[in-house]
Structure 1
Amino acid sequence: MQNQQDEIPVEPEKESTTFNAAFEADDWSNYKDTDVMQQHSAILEQDAAKFPFVGDKEPLSSLANEYKSGSPILLEKIEVLSKQYAAIRRTRGDGNCFFRSFMFSYLEHIFESQDQAEVERIKTNVEKCRKTLQGLGYSDFTFEDFFSLFIEQLESVLQGNEDSISHDELIVRSRDQSVSDYVVMFFRFVTSGEIKKRSEFFEPFILGLTNTTVEQFCKTSVEPMGEESDHVHITAFFG
């Protein structure tokens, strides 16, 4: 059970910003990782100034105040959360909020726990994910930069190393688009690889949700930046 010093990331409603679809070309061999990052030209500067990728801590009471005229059941749930968590951090509702929330929460957990064994476990799993993508026909250059940057961020929150960072720097990096978006893309590739690897399991859910193939679902609803996550994404990511 979490103590009162813990915090829980909260995902606000999605902004109205429109994103261009990624990976429009069918030929993956021509794909450049910079193409993904260019999608964010659709995010207006005013949105960035209005709300950072990862917000500051806020008391749970601020969330309760927002919904005080809403559903009593929702207010009861907020009350339950307040008994276990001391604060929330909001993430920008740009379609990447699930992955970005997990990114910060997990890296912060490693920073606070300094769990070297967990870091090694994740690095082993990352290598398995790399091999999965290779086995699915992805060229290394389509995902390698994203994987490398995630490992770099993971190792940097372990203290006592030359490249170790402080908690404040972790927040700064999580708000830096050049870092934060790359880690989000790492998570998107991991999720896509897991869905394709277990395509027989996920296919019925995907057909019911979008009436498309697993391949097309991953190409249009998982890998592009700005695409919201649903139960298929979450199940695959934590599977």
Structure 2
Amino acid sequence: MHQSNTVAPTAEQALDQQARPSENGPDTGKDDRPSDEEILRYERAIKEAETGASPLISDILGMQGLEKEFASGLEIFQRKVKHLSQTCLGMRTVKRDGNCFYRALSFRFCELLWERRGTPWAQAALARAASTKDIMTEMGYDMSLLIDFWEPFETALTPQEDNKTLLEMFQTEYVSDTIVCYLRLVTAAVLKKYRDLFEAFILDSYPSLDAFIGSQVEPMNIEADEPHIVAISNALGITIRIANLDPTPADAGVNYHELSPMEPLEVAGDVPEVVLLYRPGHYDVLYPSG
């Protein structure tokens, strides 16, 4: 499992702090406690010192930046990057802040919904996304408190009347981080729902599934591993294909790891996939050609 040095409060802790009465005497009518947005901004400032001022998610870029990044690396990396350059239209880079998987996944999922709006797949995917609230409630999360985390995600799922682009939404720090936070909680809920399945992968490293969720899933800035990816794939009903940019041999140029939902969407015809690029500790959005 991967772990970041910065552990932010969980969504529940932030909301609990917001709702808790003051411990410093009677309420004077002035609330000095930080808002959710202020908490996220503070955490972002800490991470800026580590990751620089790169955007949360970029425009679509060519593969030249990736080629430059690995120009002095191992030959196997250079071959794989060349293969990606020949088989992909481009990529979007995602900020290296421990939230990259959730941000990359949610952006591309929403982008596919915008591109395919009105299709049977989009209608089924929107219904599945809305059903995540039911999973949360079933697993003991109070959606009356967490509705503010759902609403930015709901807004990003469909084009808006104000013509704000999806990229603008995801480059807005509070909106983007709130979507990430919501998907972390959905991931946690799915792990709990299928406890018997996931405990087999967790208990070698953690005393309990709940301990894993509390330290590796719900907090912001903690990198995602395979259990997280399987869980959110099932929650959204989306297949996730991951191009692995690593030193392992690949007969087909680059090894792709495909994770399909246990409960896929029941739609006929063309069903899109979210394709991501992985190199150790980081995910970006990838756009294969064809």
Bin of the TM-score, shorter chain as denominator length: 0.7 to 0.9
CA distance, structure 2, for counterparts of residue 32 and residue 233 of structure 1? 28
Instruction: Using the TM superposition, give the Cα deviation of residue 195 of structure 1 relative to its aligned residue in structure 2, in angstroms.
Output: 0.6
Runs of 4+ in 1 over 6 A off after TM superposition: none
* Structure 2 counterpart of 1:22: 10
User: 1:221·1:227 contact (CA, 8 Å) conserved in 2?
Assistant: yes
Distance in 2 separating the partners of 1:36 and 1:218: 23
- Does residue 185 of the first structure (1) align with residue 181 of the second (2)? yes
Deviation at 1:49, TM superposition (A): 6.6
Q: Counterparts of 1:87 and 1:72 in 2: how far apart (Å)? A: 21
Per the alignment, residue 193 of structure 2 pairs with 197
- CA separation of 1:119/1:113 partners in 2, compared to 1, >3 Å: closer, same or farther? closer
Structure 1 residues 140-159: Cα deviation after superposition (integer angstroms, max 9, x where no partner):
234222222212211226xx
TM-score scaled by length of structure 2: 0.65
Aligned CA distance change for structure 1 residues 231 and 170 (closer, same or farther; 3 Å): same
> How far apart are 1:234 and its partner, in Å?
0.7
AA matched with 2:143: D
CA distance in 1, matches of 2:127, 2:76: 42
Contact residue 192 and residue 222 of structure 1 kept, 8 A: yes
Q: What does residue 89 of structure 1 align with? A: 92
CA deviations 1:86-129 (Å, max 9, x no partner) are 22211111110001111222222222333443332123223432
Coordinate RMSD, CA, aligned: 2.9
Structure 1 distance, partners of 2:15, 2:5, is: 30
Higher deviation after alignment, 181-190 or 93-102: 181-190
Give the secondary-structure state (helix, strand or coil) at the position aligned to 1:93: coil
SS of residue paired to 1:58? coil
Q: Which amino acid aligns with 1:183?
A: I
**187-196 or 112-121, larger mean C-alpha shift:** 112-121
Which has more radius of gyration? Answer: 2
Aligned-residue offset at 1:24: 8.4
Structure 2 CA distance for aligned equivalents of residues 23 and 110 of structure 1: 26
Ranges in structure 1 where 5+ consecutive residues have no aligned partner: 1-13, 158-162
Instruction: Report matched runs for 1:1-239 at 5 Å.
Output: 18-22=6-10, 30=16, 35=36, 38-44=39-45, 46=48, 50-156=53-159, 163=161, 165=163, 169-208=165-204, 210-239=205-234
Name the amino acid aligned to 2:135: T
CA–CA distance in structure 1, aligned partners of residues 64 and 166 of structure 2: 25
Structure 2 contact 57–167 (Cα < 8 Å) conserved? yes
- The question of whether the paired residues in 2 share the 8 Å contact of 1:22 and 1:39 is answered with no
Q: Go from structure 1 to structure 2 and tell me whether the alpha carbon gap of 1:65 and 1:172 turns closer, same or farther (over 3 Å shift).
A: same
Specify the alignment match of 2:259 in structure 1: none
CA contact (8 A) 1:17 1:94 kept: no
CA deviation profile, 1:169-211 (whole Å, cap 9, x unmatched): 2211111012111111221122111111001010021112x32
| Distance (Å, rounded) in 1 between the aligned partners of 2:72 and 2:96 | 22
Gaps of 5+ in 2: 20-34, 235-290
Greater share of strand:
2
Q: CA deviation at 1:83?
A: 2.2
Work out the number of aligned pairs and report it: 215
Change (3 A) 1:17 1:96: same
Q: Secondary structure at the match of 1:109?
A: helix
Mapped contact 2:103–2:180 kept (Cα < 8 A): yes
How many Å separate the matches in 1 of 2:17 and 2:133?
A: 17
Aligned CA distance change for structure 1 residues 152 and 23 (closer, same or farther; 3 Å): closer
- Deviation at residue 230 of structure 1 after TM alignment: 0.7
| Deviation digits for residues 67-91 of structure 1 (CA, Å, limit 9, x no counterpart) | 1111222222212222222222111
The structure that is helix-richer by fraction is 1
